[in-house]
Structure 1
Amino acid sequence: MYSDKALTCVDCGTEFTFTAGEQERFAQLGFTNEPKRCSPCRAAKKAAGGGGGGGGGGRGGFGGGGRGGGGGGPREMFSAICGECGKPTQVPFKPRGDRPVYCSDCFAKRR
Structure 2
Amino acid sequence: MPKDHETDAERILLFLAENRDQAFEAIEIADNTDLDENSVRPVLDRLRSSGLVRQEESTWRIGTLERVRDAFAFHSTVQSLNERVGYEDREEWLAAAAESDTDDE
Please report the TM-score for the alignment, with normalisation by the length of structure 2. Answer: 0.27
Larger RCO, structure (CA 8 Å, separation 6 or more): 2
Normalized per residue, which structure has more strand?
Answer: 1
Largest Rg, 1 or 2: 1
Normalized per residue, which structure has more helix?
Answer: 2
